[in-house]
Chains A and B, each alone.
Chain A
Amino acid sequence: MTTLNYTVRFQKTVLASLIGLCISQPSFALEELSDAGLSETTGEGIAILPQNTYMVFRGAGTNETTNQILTDRTKDTGYINYVPVGPLSMTSADTNKNGSVDSGDRAVGKADIYLYGLALSKSDNNTNTRIASTDAAAAISSWGTAVNPWIFKVATENSVPNFSANNCTGATDPTCQLTYLALEAPLYEIGTKDTAGIDAYKLKLGLWSDIFVRNPNKINGAADQFNYGDSNGLIGTSTDATRANRLRLQGIWNNFSLNGSRLQVFQTLGGATTSGGMSPFYNNTLGIAGVIRLNSGDSKDVKAITTSSLTEGSTTSPWTLIHAGANSTLSTSTTGDCNNGGTGSFGTSAGCRYYVEKRTRTDSKTATKTWDASGLSNAGVLRLSTRETSDSGNLITPAINGGVAPTFDANEGVYLYNPNINLVLGTLYQPLILGSDGKNFSLEIARIANKPEIYKQIYTDYSGADTSYKGSTCNVYQCGNQLTLGGKNYQGYNATHSSITIGTAFSEDGGKTLRASTDEGAVGISFGKLNSGTVSRTTSSNQMTEVHYKQRGVNTQTWVQSYSCTLFICGAGTTGYLYQWEYNNGSTPWAILAPTTKPADATCSTTIGCSSTSGTTPMYGSIANRVWANSSAVWLTAANNEVNNLIGANNGMTGTTFPTLNQAPTPVINSSPINNLGSAVIDGVLIQHLKLTTKGL
């Protein structure tokens, strides 16, 4: 029974407006309208323009002030309850698939869904509020404009191809005339948006929900109705009061628009038979065609800003001694078998002739990148989160137990940045229809008829070569044929293909197709909020070694050391040898350190007084001659195999000098946060034929 309570105070303006709405077409007398007259009437309807508006579904209770409504979220407990009805089907109850419901099956139950606190307002760019905190910030100043409002209208379209094998004969062919009832959102404006309607592109949706698994053995309202375990057993027998059979979820969607959406309801045309994959069920039944557009806007520049820098470094060790030139084998000792500290004979092997040092250098490069996400704060974000900041009972919900709405963690959850969702579900010639076998129901998007008149309206020639193919993709850049209202351009709604982009995406061909950005700053899906950050990475070169050495050689001087003198005859003389070190000082001849002067030649005379000998042989340089440190030897770097052999490969090689350029490899780093899964694009989706059928109702 219906009870109406009302208090009405009509004033003249209101009455005048009402009458105006009823008879806005001038008419002096009512006349019969012929079919011809009706067919000339096109597209008249009711325009609807919400202004300065927002909405929050609050818990049942007393009236509140707007300030309470906007700032006190705990009372967002008005709900829509999806009530499960009907027992479980065999398919879902028989979890071990043995053909019967028995003690071997796992616990399953139906879902009981509560959607709370549905709030629609203007976006405040905050991903954890359900509405802005002041009237001015929360209100959608104008959802559309006077020239581009919501429209509820009836219109007739001619020359709509029907399902039969025959083409339409023209605009007057009644089998191709289709009248539809349409609810249209404001159109999506191209380019700079009209300021009067800008808020329509900045909507905010907020809600939260509790979703329970119901124990079928408990009656509705029982205190333990959600106590359900997960053990095997007959349905509903596994009870567990502590198991969290509840999903608590928050959904916040900032900066989206519905503009360009349209829903058409009509009676489908006829002509389908069972041939050609078609079905008589398509004929003259309730048809629905929808363009659902949920756009956050062009996302090609919705990305983090990355700045990078590179610093180079180099560490060179001091020269270190590896061979002191005092021993025939490699040694840093200043004593050895070269007899550098003695006066007698000395060794002349390579070990005694070289004094060797080495040094090492290691280069590094440090790359630093900053990923600045501050520009994303105004981006559209669809966020789903579950974590509360304070725990509540696992099995309670305000609709049943009373209490307040929860407080959710500010940064947790799945973030879908800048989603642009454009779904084309059915058209006038490929309708969405409903069916049923008496219990279960089906949703079907009719098969595209194998008839050029229809499929050329739907298929796309992406090359553009064949313009008889009219199909195109609905996306944030375009959606069919452009329209002009009041001198401004708007996207249409007659595209045929769907697309979904999440995050940074762009088009390379003026909107025909879409690409997901692979830019480092690209955003898209992320777990947890995307925050700014700086990362750096340092790479090092291999250790490089440089060797230099001092060199000395044996300087040999000779003199006539003795003659044999016998009977005044000078016999053949003996040669005396003086061995001492000469050091490579970079000039020729090398310098002899603390040289010992060789003795004068022995003299031989046939007269008495023959000296016959001068000095002894061999002679060796003094101790002072043997001291590397006092020599004027210069450091040498030229390749020298003797040195190489002496020091071994581990100590480097002569002949190499350190390169001028930094030898570290350039570090490759990605500054994008690890929780950023990047952008995604699903483009050009065309449904050829889709049928969804329920089971077990």
Chain B
Amino acid sequence: MKKISTLILALYATVTHAELQTLDNDALQAINGQAGADLSLMLNLNQTANGVFDNGSGGVCENVEFCHIGLAINKRFVQADPSKPSGWAENSDSGNKLWLVFKGVQGTLNIQKMGLDGADLKYLDKNNTEMIKPAIQLSFSAAQPILIRNFGFNALSIEQDNFTSSTTAQGSSANMYDYAYFKKPTYAATANSANQQVATATPSAYDHGRETGFMGLMMNGNLAIQGKVMVFSCDGSHPRC
């Protein structure tokens, strides 16, 4: 991390420097004839070294609530309403906030090799004059695929806070388990619910003990990608921007 942090800091530093000179397209094109960088990047999230969910004793996900990702991106709440079959009525402004919670988020992603180079692209800009644009060129080789191991999540669930919030005020609680994204109910083995377990009318041995939700997604394999991707800034002179 130290090196990356340094790099990022360095970038920030250069950007914020008040006497920075314009590095325009011409200046960028003047630099040539040098090889780029080859990157390899391995991401291991919530897994042991052999790509298994690390929820054993002492593992990072021994407490599964810490291996959740919660998203609340669309202003949805529920308010208690005994007249509804679920006991809750939807509300768009206030109530217990709803979260989309990814549970058991995990995965190992190993980008064995990604080439990072610069390249020039030519196109006609909005004034129909030819533009030479420097671009970042990311390249991949199928012979060195991206290794994906058990990348995904165990369950996707909609959970709600145990306290009320509104569009203008975020509620809070002293108990972490009142927050939707820390909730970790699992399916009970029987129709009777035990502590932290969800009763179910149709008990299932398959689901017993799993965190609640409605679907999971898991990827496994070697993603062989061949080719390169040019990435460049689409500024105001580009006809598409």
Contacts and interface: CB of A to CB of B under 8 A. Distances in A.
Interface of A: 1-14, 16-30, 41-61, 63-66, 69, 77-90, 93, 101, 135, 138-140, 145-149, 151, 153, 184, 187, 214-220, 225, 235-236, 279-281, 283-286, 399, 433-441, 484-487, 694, 697
Nearest to A50: B229
Q: Which of A26, A56, A135 has the most CB of B within 10 A?
A: A56
B1 interface: yes
A86 B121 CA distance: 51
B216 interface: yes
A81 B36 contact: no
Interface string B113-152: 0001110011110001000011110001111110111001
Contacts of A280: 92-93
Contacts of B208: 219
Contacts of A41: 236
A49 B239 contact: no
Contacts of B225: 53-55
Given A41-B236, A145-B123, A487-B124, 5 more contacts: A85-B216, A93-B201, A184-B240, A286-B74, A487-B128
B194 interface: no
A52 B136 contact: no
15 contacts: A3-B43, A14-B116, A14-B136, A20-B25, A28-B20, A47-B231, A49-B232, A78-B219, A85-B210, A85-B213, A86-B213, A145-B123, A151-B240, A220-B206, A236-B204
B129 to A, nearest CB: 10
B221 A59 contact: yes
B169 interface: no
A89 B204 CA distance: 11
Contacts of A52: 226-228
Interface string B154-190: 1110101000000100000000000000000001000
Contacts of B213: 85-86
B9 interface: no
A29 B16 CA distance: 7
B133 A146 contact: yes
B76 A60 contact: no
A10 B118 contact: no
Given A101-B202, A216-B202, A220-B206, A436 B229 contact: no
Given A3-B44, A280-B92, A55 B224 contact: yes
B123 A146 contact: yes
Contacts of B124: 147, 485-487
Interface of B: 1, 3-4, 11, 14-16, 18-25, 28, 31-32, 34-46, 60, 73-76, 78, 84, 86, 88-90, 92-93, 96, 98, 112, 116-118, 121-124, 128, 133-136, 140-145, 147-149, 152, 154-156, 158, 160, 167, 187, 200-208, 210-236, 238-241
B217 A83 contact: yes
B98 to A, nearest CB: 5
Q: Which of B200, B212, B232 has the most CB of A within 10 A?
A: B232
A112 to B, nearest CB: 9
Nearest to A483: B239
Given A42-B236, A59-B222, A21 B136 contact: yes
B31 to A, nearest CB: 5
Q: Which of B60, B154, B221 has the most CB of A within 10 A?
A: B221
A486 B239 contact: yes
B29 to A, nearest CB: 10
Nearest to A282: B92
Given A81-B218, A485-B239, A58 B145 contact: yes
B37 A49 contact: no
B18 A30 contact: yes
Nearest to B122: A146
B133 A60 contact: no
B202 A90 contact: yes
A453 to B, nearest CB: 23
Given A12-B31, A12-B34, A101-B201, A49 B121 contact: yes
